[in-house]
Amino acid sequence: MLKKVVKNAEEAIVDITDGATIMLGGFGLCGIPENSIKALVNKGVKNLTCISNNAGVDDFGIGLMLKTRQVKKMIASYVGENAEFERQLLSGELEVELIPQGTLATRCMAAGYGIPAIYTPAGVGTEVAEGKETREFDGKTYLMEHAFKSDFAIVKAWKGDTNGNLIFRATSRNFNPLMAMAGKITIVEVEELVQPGDLDPDMIHTPGIYVNRIFKGVHYEKRIEQVTVTKR
Amino acid sequence: MLDKFGIAKRIAKELQDGYYVNLGIGIPTLVANYVPQGIEVILQSENGLLGIGPFPFEEDVDADLINAGKQTVTIAKGSSFFDSAMSFGMIRSGRVDLTVLGAMEVADNGDIANWKIPGKMVKGMGGAMDLVASAKNIIVAMQHVNKSGESKLLSKCSLPITGLGCVKKVVTELGVFDITSVGFKCIEYATGVSLDYIKEKTLGRLVVADDVKEMSID
């Protein structure tokens, strides 16, 4: 019998220790593993390397872990919404590697597909290319970018079954299925945890083989960065 | 001289029926409001949506449904969701017909800088480096000069580069400029703006098209 279901976030992250490399799914605050982030803050693990598209905002998401100085290094593509992040970066307290968003996504994908590296045109001729191997294909230059190696991947799905099969919802999918494939240990929090057979196999985005631990998250705040509406 | 809405209106004239379009944050996002009558374009949002609809009514706001600028949106009919790797797959493989983005600087050879001011501002490149490295047609929407009144149309970018030789056209509050082998070619000027004024505000190489005309945005 598969034993993937854990009680809660605390149990899911029990073996994450100081110095770990962790991937965290989400785009902005959309589709972030809220429960697991809070548990990491409460646990107080330090010197983390975090791989995530963004760094949250000052008081939510990964921003919570920045405030408590738990992050040693951040690998991200866009960090414009977080003033504390920018302050720590400019003062040199926080190590930061900014990489193109497509490169970030594809390096996750490569890890999950068992491919050691990929070639991409993104960043050629820029700071991003410094020290990296390049190669020409059909007259165009590409950078070699390595698959990520990450101790843990922590993602948020909409629905999951106890076998670890996952379905994501709308644009909260983003990096989540890619990171789910890319961690040595993959931890998933879901809004709805169901039994095997309850999900249509044709609708599964992430097959359970990639998932090590799964739990039902609680009290989702789902904060929105920019509420934009059409007036009636 | 145009305001930001005028810049967006002018860029909307570049849209063609059936185009897949990626609109960046800021002025580019406004282009969606001015799609010409009778033309259908499909908007791609790199966080994983093909077919962006208008902003939702207040009661329909959905935290799981945002655009790349992290604004709440709706879906157009016939839209699809996907993960970030597939999203950049469609960008890198050249499926997106037009990319519109903002910039801090553009050089007269098509280089663009828009992600970092060393020691001052670090926001990151987001998807911009992927977009500019692969898109077939890139239009920059920006102000002609920065807050200190200095030209953003240069002979060489002074800020860290986002991509090399990729911009095809620049639309500013002063005019429309094609990137050509001889530099910025002014093909249109905004109402009330003289070519001399444009020359004064452009540091990069500038030529004026033989058939240069006044811009029409309505």
- What is the per-residue pLDDT across B26-72, written as a single tens digit (0 to 9) for each? 899 999 999 999 999 999 999 999 999 999 999 999 999 999 999 99
Q: Which residues of A touch B57 (CB under 8 A)?
A: 229-230, 232
- In tens, the pLDDT along A43-80 reads 999 999 999 999 999 999 999 999 999 999 999 999 98
Q: What is the pLDDT confidence band of residue B121, given thresholds at 50, 70 and 90?
A: confident
At A138 the pLDDT is: 96
- In tens, the pLDDT along A175-184 reads 999 999 999 9
SS3 A202: helix
- In tens, the pLDDT along A110-127 reads 999 999 999 999 999 999
pLDDT: which is higher, A107 or A2: A107
- In tens, the pLDDT along B158-212 reads 999 999 999 999 999 999 999 999 999 999 999 999 999 999 999 999 999 999 9
- Pairwise CB contact (< 8 Å): B64 & A77: no
Cα distance between residue A225 and residue B65, in whole Å: 12
- In tens, the pLDDT along B13-23 reads 999 999 999 99
**How far is the alpha carbon of B27 from chain A, nearest alpha carbon, in Å?**
15
User: Is residue A188 pLDDT above 80, yes or no?
Assistant: yes
Cα distance between residue A183 and residue A193, in whole Å: 21
Q: Parallel, antiparallel, or unpaired for β A95-98 and A150-161?
A: unpaired
**Both structure tokens of A145:** 């970018």
Task: Count contacts between A and B (CB, < 8 Å).
Answer: 181
Are A142 and A119 a contacting pair, CB within 8 Å? Answer: yes
pTM, rounded to two decimals: 0.96
Give the residue-averaged pLDDT of A134-138.
98
Q: Does A190 touch chain B (CB under 8 A)?
A: no
- Pairwise CB contact (< 8 Å): A102 & B130: yes
Residue A83 makes CB contacts below 8 A (sequence gap 6+) with A58
Assembly ipTM: 0.96
CA atoms within 13 Å, Cβ hemisphere of B49: 26
At A83 the pLDDT is: 86
**How far is the alpha carbon of A107 from chain B, nearest alpha carbon, in Å?**
9
Q: Which residues of A touch B66 (CB under 8 A)?
A: 27-28, 30, 171, 224-226
At A90 the pLDDT is: 83
- Pairwise CB contact (< 8 Å): A174 & B85: no
Q: Which residues of A touch B123 (CB under 8 A)?
A: 78-80
Q: What is the pLDDT confidence band of residue B122, given thresholds at 50, 70 and 90?
A: confident
- Pairwise CB contact (< 8 Å): A226 & B130: no
- In tens, the pLDDT along B109-118 reads 999 999 999 8
β-pair partners for A186 = A153
- Pairwise CB contact (< 8 Å): B125 & A230: no
State which residue of chain B sits closest to A82, comparing Cα positions. Answer: B123
At B7 the pLDDT is: 97
Q: What is the pLDDT confidence band of residue A10, given thresholds at 50, 70 and 90?
A: very high
At A47 the pLDDT is: 98
**How far is the alpha carbon of A1 from chain B, nearest alpha carbon, in Å?**
30
Cα distance between residue B151 and residue B183, in whole Å: 15
Residue B110 makes CB contacts below 8 A (sequence gap 6+) with B164, B165, B166, B167, B168, B179
User: Is residue B74 pLDDT above 80, yes or no?
Assistant: yes
Q: Parallel, antiparallel, or unpaired for β A183-194 and A150-161?
A: parallel
Comparing CB atoms, the residue among B73, B127, B163 nearest residue A102 is B127
**How far is the alpha carbon of B122 from chain A, nearest alpha carbon, in Å?**
7
Residue B58 bears catalytic tag:
no
At B119 the pLDDT is: 83
- In tens, the pLDDT along A156-177 reads 999 999 999 999 999 999 999 9
Give the residue-averaged pLDDT of A134-163.
98
Cα distance between residue A85 and residue A99, in whole Å: 16
Q: Which residues of A touch B71 (CB under 8 A)?
A: 225-228
State which residue of chain B sits closest to A98, comparing Cα positions. Answer: B124
Residue B138 makes CB contacts below 8 A (sequence gap 6+) with B98, B99, B100, B101, B112, B131, B132, B166, B167, B168, B169
Cα distance between residue A78 and residue A99, in whole Å: 8
Comparing CB atoms, the residue among A108, A226, A230 nearest residue B85 is A108
Q: What is the pLDDT confidence band of residue B120, given thresholds at 50, 70 and 90?
A: confident
**Of B14, B40, B46, B150, which residue is the catalytic one?**
B46
Cα distance between residue B84 and residue A62, in whole Å: 19
Look at the alpha carbons of A17, A20, A26, A29 in this order and tell me if their dihedral is positive or negative. positive
Q: Which residues of B touch A104 (CB under 8 A)?
A: 84
Q: Which residues of B touch A170 (CB under 8 A)?
A: 49, 62, 64-65, 75, 81
Comparing CB atoms, the residue among B62, B81, B124 nearest residue A98 is B124
User: Is residue A1 pLDDT above 80, yes or no?
Assistant: no
- Pairwise CB contact (< 8 Å): B65 & A77: no
Q: Does A129 touch chain B (CB under 8 A)?
A: no
Are A104 and A174 a contacting pair, CB within 8 Å? Answer: no
Give the residue-averaged pLDDT of A174-201.
98
